[in-house]
Chains A and B, each alone.
Chain A
Amino acid sequence: MIEAILFMLGIGAACGSVLSVASKVFYVYEDPRIAEVEGFLAGANCGGCGYAGCSAAAVAVVEGNAPPSVCIVAGAEAAANVAAVMGLDAGTAEPLKSYNECNGGNRAANKYYYTGLNTCKAVSALYGGRRECEIGCLGFGDCIRSCAFDAIHMGPEGYPVVDETKCVGCGACQRACPKNILTVKTMSQRLLHMNAEDDALAPCRQTCPAEIDIPKYIAQIRNGDYEGAVNTIRERNPLLLSCGRVCPHPCEDRCRRGIEDEPVSINQLKRFVADFEMNSGKRIPIPCAPDTGKRVAVIGGGPAGLSCAFFLRRLGHGVTIFESMPHLGGMIRYGIPEYRLPKKILDWEIEGILNLGIEARVNAKFGEDFDMGSLAFEGYDAVFMGVGAWVDYNLGVDGEKLNGCYTGIDFLSRLASGEKFSVPRKAAVIGGGNSAIDCVRNLIRLGTEEVWIVYRRTRAEMPANEVEIEAAEHEGVKFQFLAAPVRVVGDEDENATHLEYLKMELGEPDASGRRRPVPVEGSETLLEVDMVITAIGQRPDVSFKESSKRLDDLNITRWNTIDSDPETLQSSIPYIFTGGDSATGPSLVVEAIGGGRRAARSIHQYLTGEEIKPVPKSLFKKNIPGTIFDSVPGVVKTPRAKMTELPVKERITSFIEVDQVLTEEEAIAESNRCLSCCRICYNKDAA
């Protein structure tokens, strides 16, 4: 007994002393923080972080190779503790989340009966998998097996569904998926992505200048997830209420359903969910990445500026908008009339954007109230210029300065600012674009008895949207086609009394393929009017260039737009970016919104010191080859949702909004018309 105790004591003492001596002799200096950090990690040694066990991860954190949030098991509190040890701010990391981009759907027939290994990897090695469509999920669940956190399961439709609360963003599923359907991205990465050739993009989504994931939001509407649909749209377009009302929806022209039937009424669906959010009485929260401490000056509070500010803010940058007018909104406030986009709705929309923490300084005109020097002094890291195109072209004819003569933007913006005009008895608006139509429809509402549109070519050549022209016709606007104004005639008090024009006839087609109007000799005609509005196009006002030496290197094109790389929107001065009408010339709201995000992406790259370049395989204003069909078999014709309009009698006496929103049943019926292109593996031959 005694020997045993003595022996155990002896051997214990021997081992202990050997170890303590060894720890002295073999002592290797180790940063004490490593042990501290390791204490906060989960201790599971799972390797999910990509390092060989917790100690290795702790070493990586201390060496600065891994972020404090490295441990995918321990959670946010641990990350904060680790960050405290390291003297870092844990907030710098955005959570990564896995997204299943494929929505499944009808599977195309198998190429052959497959009895091989039960894995997507093996199947995809054969014939690229048995599904026809580019991104089709193979459904063998490699991703499910790869997930160590049980966050993916096979959904009822045969494709994997990600449980976002369980997903830690380790990226295992992304590596496991041979078809690149699952992607693990932060919100910022999603916001920064521009359409690329190897994305699975429906024709509408390829065409939308803002690159909204249209089939996704339509599917969400179909499933009653209106909130989800709003979020989907907001990943690409912060002005959904406005766009839902005024967008001429180029996407619908490319809608695949439109090949066999009427296209899906995509924009009305957007308006439906946008109105749903506004009428629900609460704003859906918009997540933003952690603050980066960088600051950007956005000049111009139009759609381009608002969109750029919105996305920069969501990427974590500080933004100040500088606007020369008393309110934000740009042309959609001062150009687009109240009866198309009520100011109350616009205010609600803009408030939501500013609520993200964006500062707005109104009545501040660049080049007068502030300049490049003061921006540099205030410490802005980059500048976005979205100054729009606000200078009207003049006709260049006699009498243009008489009383009662206006230019389009001047007239519309003064009207929108609440200025009172003496209502003319008879008025003529020169031009065939949307601005001209907006002018005439406004005049009718003001109570003008006779309103004329005077246009050089014919109705078929009018650049204005068809629906707008029709609406003007319904409201009683008169059209004088093939007429070129030559002079405004006035009385002795310098008041306009007549517009003199030459009749035209169509001659040979010109470079644009349109038949060029040629004047008919001696066909001068007088039109009795007491107001003449010239709305024949606009160009940007770049007078601010003279205000500061720092802008000497800013190149301006011959159309007065700010010269920039069309894809990155970087100007000739590296820290100045542009977008919207000031980059493209007069265009569309969606185009300006898309440009704002494109510029935000480049600015983000600039601020983070990356090279400023488009996404690889960028699909800029192109279509993916093979995705534009000329026939779609199996489509059963169903009429498209009709737009309800205010009756003409009611609308021409007021500025109440004309177009009404879809009802819920109509919206759901309309969403069911969508073919879910690129989501369903669509087999053209078999059908």
Chain B
Amino acid sequence: MDYIILAISCILINNILLAQYLGNCPFMGTSKKMETAVGMAFAVVFVLVMAGVITWIVNTYVLAKFGLDYLRTIAFILVIASLVQFVEMFLKKSIPALYAGLGIFLPLITTNCAVMGVCLINVNEEYTFVQALVSSFSYAVGFGLALILFAGVRERVLLARVPKPLQDTSIALVIAGILSLTFFAFKGMV
């Protein structure tokens, strides 16, 4: 039960994009087209689960053990970047089909703040391994959900009469704000 509550709170209430405001660059950059948004969403799920797990391990068994908590951020960056590179190589060799699907999105999220953010949240909240796994997955799903919703809206906006100064990114930011407000309705659910 706890895990489900955790999952819901990660997906909806504390949505990484709309409530925590992390990962805004891919949110704006890859939401112009539905196709790209879907590709990005899957890539994030994939990477975030891996990163969440590995950083949890690094944190618990290395950083905490030796009292090196102050090196957490830099260590995570290094670990996540190497991880993504590694995964890319692995996929290319072993699962070419998946590699072709995630293609260009994998390297794009190497330094994504949403990924980094979730890993840090996992540590700050002092989650157990399973909790960290669930939260990483759910945050990623939340990311995908918000991105796909947003891409849908943006495709529609592209066809509307938008005053010149508000076109493209400006109107997108306004929409992101409104979308974020709607997500606030989930506050207090858990």
Contact = CB atoms under 8 A, between A and B. Distances in A.
Interface of A: 3-4, 7-8, 11-12, 15-16, 18-19, 22-23, 25-28, 45, 52-53, 55-56, 117-119, 121-122, 145
B90 A19 contact: no
B86 A53 contact: no
A121 B93 CA distance: 44
Interface string B51-86: 000000010001000111011001100110010011
B111 to A, nearest CB: 15
Interface residues of B, number: 25
A117 B85 contact: no
Given A3-B66, A56-B103, A11 B89 contact: no
Contacts of B159: 117-119, 121-122
B190 interface: no
Given A19-B82, A122-B159, A4 B68 contact: yes
B103 A53 contact: yes
Contacts of B161: 118
The 7 tightest CB contacts between A and B, nearest first, are: A15-B82, A26-B93, A53-B104, A118-B161, A26-B89, A119-B159, A117-B159
Contacts of A25: 93
B90 A22 contact: yes
Contacts of B124: none
B158 A145 contact: yes
A19 B68 contact: no
B104 A19 contact: no
Given A22-B89, A28-B92, A117-B159, A11 B79 contact: yes
A561 to B, nearest CB: 57
Given A7-B71, A117-B159, A27 B93 contact: yes
Given A26-B93, A119-B159, A11 B104 contact: no
B62 to A, nearest CB: 8
B68 A7 contact: yes
Contacts of A19: 82, 85-86, 89
A468 to B, nearest CB: 60
B92 A4 contact: no
A22 B74 contact: no
A26 B75 contact: no
Nearest to A45: B104
Interface in B89-123: 89-90, 92-94, 103-104
B68 A3 contact: yes
B160 interface: yes
A45 B107 CA distance: 12
A118 B79 contact: no
A26 B94 contact: yes
A170 B103 CA distance: 23
Interface of B: 58, 62, 66-68, 70-71, 74-75, 78-79, 82, 85-86, 89-90, 92-94, 103-104, 158-161
Contact of B104 (A26, A56, A119): A56
Nearest to A55: B104
Contacts of A122: 159
A150 to B, nearest CB: 13
Nearest to B82: A15
Nearest to A53: B104
Nearest to A15: B82
B102 to A, nearest CB: 11
Contact of B78 (A15, A28, A45, A56): A15
Contacts of B93: 25-28
Given A11-B78, A11-B79, A117 B94 contact: no
A23 B78 CA distance: 17
Nearest to A118: B161
B58 to A, nearest CB: 8
A19 B84 CA distance: 10
Nearest to B104: A53
Contacts of B92: 26, 28
Contacts of A28: 92-93
Given A7-B75, A18-B86, A117-B159, 9 more contacts: A3-B67, A8-B74, A11-B75, A11-B79, A15-B79, A15-B82, A18-B82, A22-B90, A28-B93
A7 B104 contact: no
A149 to B, nearest CB: 16
Contacts of B71: 4, 7-8
A22 B86 contact: yes
B33 to A, nearest CB: 9
Nearest to B93: A26
6 contacts: A11-B62, A19-B85, A23-B89, A26-B94, A28-B92, A121-B159
A118 B167 CA distance: 14
Nearest to B87: A22
Contacts of B94: 26
Contacts of A53: 103-104
Contacts of A18: 82, 86
A3 B104 CA distance: 38
B160 A118 contact: yes
Contacts of A119: 159
A117 B160 contact: yes
Given A11-B79, A19-B85, A56-B103, A26 B90 contact: yes
Nearest to A116: B159
B79 to A, nearest CB: 7
A382 B118 CA distance: 70
A625 to B, nearest CB: 35
Which of A11, A18, A23, A121 has most chain B Cβ within 10 Å?
A11
A53 B68 CA distance: 40
Contacts of A52: 103-104
Contacts of A22: 86, 89-90
A83 to B, nearest CB: 25
A575 B44 CA distance: 60
Contacts of B89: 19, 22-23, 26
Contacts of B90: 22, 26
Most buried by A among B70, B71, B75, B82: B82
